[in-house]
Amino acid sequence: MVTNGEATGLSHVSSEGEARMVDISEKAVTRREARASARVVCAPEVLDMIMGGQLSKGDALATARIAGITAAKKTGDLIPLCHPLSLDFVGVEFERVSAGELLISCTARTAGRTGVEMEAMTGASVAALTVYDMTKAADKSIVLGPIQLEHKSGGKSGDFKRR
């Protein structure tokens, strides 16, 4: 059990070991950006249908893009200790990286006091879940993941880029 959040570097844990929202009121407003990714692995024939917009439920990529953007905007409502942010941009992109693998990237930007990593990861996650929902009738063996932060910039902790 963690009893001293400050000593361990866990900013969402008080010195009494209680969950807390971090006070960002004294932090400087800076430009912040994060990009996260999620992967969808499915049968190549199903990915052909996804990429060609041939699913019976409709255009999975267009629907997943809207779902990812909407989810990023609602991250503060979904993750209990996340600050609600005013996002200046959210973008969701898709790339077929192999016969049966789709890479989803979500980028979030803001000028604010805290980062947008959770918004980017939430957007990528929900976009992947939406692709799954729209294709599950065609392929029950779809695998989602990993979901991961690829890049972040801005703020006190500096830049991060996955290798």
Instruction: Report, as residue numbers or ranges, the catalytic residues.
Output: 133
Instruction: Dump the DSSP string for the chain.
Output: ----HHHHT-TTB-TTS-B-----TTSPPEEEEEEEEEEEE--HHHHHHHHTT-BTTB-HHHHHHHHHHHHHHTHHHHSTTPPP---SEEEEEEEEEETTEEEEEEEEEEEESS--HHHHHHHHHHHHHHHHHHHTTT-TT-EEEEEEEEEEE-STT--EE--
Rounded CA-CA distance 54/70 in Å is: 24
Rounded CA-CA distance 114/80 in Å is: 15
